[in-house]
Amino acid sequence: MQRLGVNVDHVATLRQARKTTYPDPVTAAALAELAGAGQITIHLREDRRHIQERDLKVLRETVQTLLNLEMAATQEMVKLAYEYKPDLVTLVPERREELTTEGGLDVTSQKDAIGKVVKNLKDGDIVVSLFIDPDLDQVKMAHRVSADRIELHTGRYCEAHSEKERQRELSRIVDAAKAATKLGMGCAAGHGLNYDNVRPIARIAEIDELNIGHAIVGRAVLVGFDRAVREMVELLRAP
Ligand code: PXP
């Protein structure tokens, strides 16, 4: 079974809506781990709209599985990564006005800048993943800049308007995952995955990690965190 990375950003979104101290993403992370999550994922955004530096600090102390920090490729964030030493850093593009991460990193056009940040992080013994679209040129470039892993953006697959389009996007993900494996990189996937669309992605043998946030937190509000995570884990386990 793939490792399920539960992204707890939107627990923090609910907290920040009122600037209260609850609900605490740290509690959600502990419940997620007890329910079978193999990783906790957070995105510390420049505008701090959900996850705060305090969450990163406390989660670093409390997460029992793996802590995956999604972050922009900036010097400010590299400094924080060095301070808190997450098990994995996933570099993502970030624009202030976007609702969520809208596309993958364009490694091809920012080869030197991204390569520098990857090297910087790896020098600090941090495993580095690049969040990219399922595009073979991007996969090759991720390898060229010495990324340990990639995470494939599944947004277009999830938002496909027809079965034909969905199958086409699925093939792009399969091809990109195979290419990454051939090049010796680990391969994750995420963005937009939910209880209805996760199965075909979960069956791709080359993908060893899935990061899922909004759908799990959305269900947790209604049925509880434990059940929401267990139901996703069951879907990943099913043959
Ligand atoms: N993976 C990455 C790199 C992301 O940026 C996000 C969104 O924060 C996710 C996975 C999770 O996406 P979703 O909340 O749609 O499940």
Cis geometry, peptide bond prior to residue 23 (ω within 30 degrees of 0) = yes
Whether 70 is catalytic is: yes
**Three-state SS for 239?**
coil
Distance between CA atoms of residues 9 and 87, nearest Å: 17
Does ligand 1 lie within 6 Å of residue 211's CB atom?
yes
Query: Quick check: 127 and 89 in contact, CB under 8 A?
Result: yes
Query: Quick check: 134 and 153 in contact, CB under 8 A?
Result: yes
Amino acid symbol at 91: L
Residues in the chain: 239
Number of domains observed in the structure of the chain: 1
**Residue from 211, 214, 235 to probe ligand 1 pocket by mutation (most atoms less than 8 Å from CB):** 211
pLDDT above 80: residue 63: yes
Query: Quick check: 55 and 69 in contact, CB under 8 A?
Result: no
CATH of the domain at 89: 3.20.20.70
- The whole-number pLDDT of residue 153 equals 97
Distance between CA atoms of residues 139 and 132, nearest Å: 8
Distance between CA atoms of residues 41 and 44, nearest Å: 10
User: Given the CA of residue 92, which atom of ligand 1 is nearest to it?
Assistant: 3
- Average pLDDT of the segment spanning 180-186: 98
CA 154 to ligand 1 center in whole angstroms = 9
- The whole-number pLDDT of residue 94 equals 85
Does ligand 1 lie within 6 Å of residue 209's CB atom?
no
- DSSP assignment of 130-199 equals EEE-S-HHHHHHHHHTT-SEEEEE-HHHHT-SSHHHHHHHHHHHHHHHHHHHHTT-EEEEESS--TTTSH
What are 70-105's pLDDT values in tens digits?
999 999 999 999 999 999 999 999 875 666 667 899
- The whole-number pLDDT of residue 101 equals 60
Does ligand 1 lie within 6 Å of residue 101's CB atom?
yes
**Residue from 70, 151, 169, 206 carrying the catalytic annotation:** 70
CA 83 to ligand 1 center in whole angstroms = 23
Domain hosting 207: range is 3-237
Distance between CA atoms of residues 206 and 175, nearest Å: 10
Does ligand 1 lie within 6 Å of residue 151's CB atom?
yes
- The whole-number pLDDT of residue 95 equals 73
- The whole-number pLDDT of residue 119 equals 97
What are 15-49's pLDDT values in tens digits?
999 999 999 999 999 999 999 999 999 999 999 99
- The whole-number pLDDT of residue 103 equals 85
- Rounded (5°) CA angle 202-190-186: 75
